[in-house]
């Protein structure tokens, strides 16, 4: 069974302690400059701190009020840093676990290939850290593979549980699509020669650690666009607050610089500004818990915008092997006789198809596996004859391709030909069975669709994602499977260049494409796709071409990846809506309280009836800081995504987070104001 990376709790004690320390480290202005909103908050907090020190030294009565404002402004900055640090801490915990899988292992490096005299290869023992690109190493049973590379000779069973969490060993061999090996995994049996393809420090594990920690996480295009929007809103509210000062002087309402700065911090979008990085990091964290490594946040974001999903048929939509589904005897042959003959002819067939025939026959007949006896002569399958079977005393049972078996038959009944044609038209594969040269009937082999796949494709369709099946089957077979699976389109008899051409055509139409692959021939299409998911079991070329690596090598995980990407976009959009609605509500909650004395007409919109201007601004600042902490779990966990249309999502977003963002400040600020007033009166 594959394994999902265990996720620490939202506020795991170890992570929380480290995040609390990191929140102070992140006060460095050079680090905060990447987040304009929180950077502005830190700068104005420093200014208010200076005014507080001045008032304190002058023993001014305003020092107590400005001191409270200073404390809560710095809490706002720290809480924003804490949100990002918690998200990073979850990744660092996983990175520490990955580091523990690494060790300074030793390698047997080839220094003298087999010479002309027939002597064996000569190796030297070196540290794995001393290996260079292109070095050849020998890895034997019980030894760690010292670095990422390609198997160039030999075949071995490899334990990759340190990387994938999958306890079952995998086979790695030279040539084909299963030649890539990862440093830190263990050879369990036999031996392999590996050509090193990654220098120390840039191996797959090293890249995973850097990505999981967030050290190499760059802002995605949507994040950059949102940062520009938030910066614009910050400038707008800065202008608003600056213009309020002369307005207050003119109207006779005394407003200090401390109050204006506090008002500015309440009005600028500090909530989403403080949570934006945490949302992006949490998106990658959710992928990691599904054992998928994204090489950038851009890939996760692109997954949320995917319009078309390319899925391979074999192993993704179907179980991977054609299985027996029906026994069709010819006229004059009883079903029991035919099934028994098919069972006997398949007992020695160890292919998945052969085993499925045995399983179906035993189920239909209802008795245990028959004994072939000592006189039985097994006829193994041959690619040349395309026939297999068994010779028993007086019985020659054969099973295989229709044309091959029929060629040795005495006659071909009409109903036999009809059954073959029917099965072929339905997309299945007919297998003929004969006894002593007489055709007994046809076995219907078919691609078995995974039971839940049709519902999942329906969910994708509800998301607005078009599903396309890619298969090497002929168009008739492909159409039958596509119809049964419920995909929107299919590409039959697909070659690597066909996949690439399809992706380019769709992208020219403005669509974002996702696909998965594991072979070198998939690399061009993986590189071209907006979301290219390479299988961990695939070749080095495929893993380097894609922008995600699935450690479980499960192609159906593309569906989860798309859902996680959409959840990331939903979370960011929902919290942005909530934050902006918050700012609007705070504006109408605070301004009347500040100016109601100078402008009695404002009493009409002074809904909250706050105790005093000082209490109003202090309550707003406290609410502004606490709401960031309150929203951290939602930012890390993500807003639940439901596969409904865009219009329904927009309505839900506005109703829950837009309306909620408008109402929450009125309730929260009023409650805090009551508490603050009670404390001051006491």
Enzyme catalytic residues: 312
d(CA 448, CA 427) in angstroms, rounded, equals: 11
Q: Calculate Rg over the CA atoms of the chain.
A: 34
Best CA proximity match to 304, nearest among 319, 313, 294: 294
Give the DSSP letter of residue 174.
S
β-partners of residue 439 are 434
- 383 marked as binding residue: yes
β-partners of residue 392 are 395
Taking CA 10 as the corner, what is the angle to CA 9 and CA 16, rounded to the nearest 5 degrees? 95
Question: CA torsion, points 497, 499, 503, 504, in degrees to nearest 10?
Answer: 10
Angle between helices 297-304 and 557-595 in degrees, nearest 10 = 90
d(CA 525, CA 652) in angstroms, rounded, equals: 37
Hey, is 201 helix, strand or coil? coil
- 590 marked as binding residue: no
d(CA 420, CA 480) in angstroms, rounded, equals: 16
CA dihedral sign of residues 602, 604, 608, 612? positive
- 522 marked as binding residue: yes
- 305 marked as binding residue: no
Kind plus residue range of the DSSP H or E element containing 194: strand 186-196
d(CA 364, CA 549) in angstroms, rounded, equals: 43
- 84 marked as binding residue: no
- 384 marked as binding residue: yes
- 386 marked as binding residue: yes
Best CA proximity match to 137, nearest among 149, 325, 129: 149
Kind plus residue range of the DSSP H or E element containing 107: strand 106-112
Measuring CA to CA, how many Å separate 3 from each of 157, 161, 561, 681? 19, 9, 16, 58
Kind plus residue range of the DSSP H or E element containing 371: none
Q: Which residues are annotated as a binding site for Mg(2+)?
A: 518, 522
Q: Which residues are annotated as a binding site?
A: 349, 353, 381-388, 399, 518, 522
Q: Which residues are annotated as a binding site for ATP?
A: 349, 353, 381-388, 399
């Amino acid at each position: 069974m594959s394994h999902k990376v265990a996720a620490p709790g939202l506020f795991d004690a170890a992570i929380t302690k480290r995040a609390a320390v990191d929140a102070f480290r992140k006060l460095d202005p050079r680090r905060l400059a990447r987040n304009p909103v929180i950077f502005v908050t830190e700068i104005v907090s420093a200014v208010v701190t200076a005014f507080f020190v001045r008032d304190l030294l002058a023993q001014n009565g305003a020092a107590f009020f400005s001191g409270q404002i200073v404390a809560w402004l710095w809490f706002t900055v720290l809480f924003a840093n804490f949100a990002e640090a918690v998200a990073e801490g979850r990744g660092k915990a996983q990175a520490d676990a990955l580091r523990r899988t690494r060790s300074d292992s030793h390698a047997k490096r080839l220094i003298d290939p087999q010479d002309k005299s027939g002597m064996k290869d000569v190796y030297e023992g070196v540290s794995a850290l001393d290996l260079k690109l292109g070095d050849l190493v020998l890895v034997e049973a019980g030894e760690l593979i010292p670095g990422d590379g390609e198997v160039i000779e030999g075949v071995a069973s490899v334990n990759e549980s340190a990387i994938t969490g999958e306890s079952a060993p995998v086979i790695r061999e030279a040539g084909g699509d299963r030649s890539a090996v990862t440093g830190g995994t263990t050879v369990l049996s036999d031996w392999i020669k590996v050509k090193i393809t990654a220098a120390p420090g840039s191996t797959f594990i090293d890249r995973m650690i850097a990505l999981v920690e967030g050290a190499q996480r760059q802002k995605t295009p949507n994040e950059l666009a949102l940062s520009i929007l938030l910066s614009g809103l910050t400038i707008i509210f800065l202008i608003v607050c600056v213009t309020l000062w002369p307005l207050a002087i003119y109207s006779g309402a005394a407003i200090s610089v401390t109050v204006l700065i506090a008002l500015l911090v309440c009005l600028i979008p500090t909530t989403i500004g403080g949570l934006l990085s945490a949302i992006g990091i949490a998106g990658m964290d959710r992928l990691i818990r599904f054992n998928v490594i994204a090489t950038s946040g851009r890939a996760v974001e692109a997954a949320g915008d995917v319009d078309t999903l390319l899925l391979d048929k074999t192993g993704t939509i179907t179980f991977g092997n054609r299985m027996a589904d029906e026994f069709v005897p010819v006229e004059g042959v009883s079903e029991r006789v035919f099934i028994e003959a098919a069972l006997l002819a398949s007992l020695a067939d160890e292919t998945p198809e052969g085993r499925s025939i045995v399983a179906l026959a035993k189920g239909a007949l209802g008795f245990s596996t028959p004994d072939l006896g000592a006189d039985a002569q097994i006829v193994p399958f041959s690619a040349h004859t395309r026939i297999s079977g068994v010779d028993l005393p007086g019985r020659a049972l054969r099973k295989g391709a229709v044309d091959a078996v029929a060629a040795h038959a005495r006659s071909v009944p009409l109903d036999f030909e009809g059954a073959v044609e029917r099965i072929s038209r339905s997309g299945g594969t007919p297998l003929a069975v004969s006894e002593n040269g007489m055709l007994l009937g046809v076995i219907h082999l078919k691609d078995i669709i995974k039971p839940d796949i049709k519902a999942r494709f329906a969910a994708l369709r509800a998301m607005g994602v078009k599903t396309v099946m890619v298969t090497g089957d002929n168009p008739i077979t492909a159409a039958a499977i596509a119809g049964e699976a419920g995909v929107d389109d299919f590409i039959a008899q697909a070659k690597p260049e066909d996949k690439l051409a399809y992706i380019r055509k769709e992208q020219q139409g403005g669509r974002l494409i996702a696909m998965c692959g594991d072979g070198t021939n998939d690399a061009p299409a993986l590189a071209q796709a907006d979301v290219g998911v390479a299988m961990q079991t695939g070749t080095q070329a495929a893993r380097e071409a894609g922008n995600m690596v699935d450690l479980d090598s499960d192609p159906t995980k593309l569906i989860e990846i798309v859902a996680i990407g959409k959840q990331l976009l939903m979370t960011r959009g929902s919290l942005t809506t909530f934050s902006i609605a918050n700012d609007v509500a705070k504006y109408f909650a605070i301004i009347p309280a500040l100016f109601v004395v100078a402008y009695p007409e404002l009493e009409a919109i002074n809904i909250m009836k706050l105790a005093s201007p000082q209490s109003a601004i202090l309550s707003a600042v406290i609410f502004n800081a606490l709401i960031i902490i309150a929203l951290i779990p939602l930012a890390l966990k993500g807003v639940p995504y439901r596969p409904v249309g865009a219009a329904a999502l927009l309505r839900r977003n506005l109703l829950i987070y837009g309306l909620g963002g408008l109402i929450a400040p009125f309730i929260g600020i009023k409650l805090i104001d009551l508490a603050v007033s009670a404390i001051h009166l006491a």
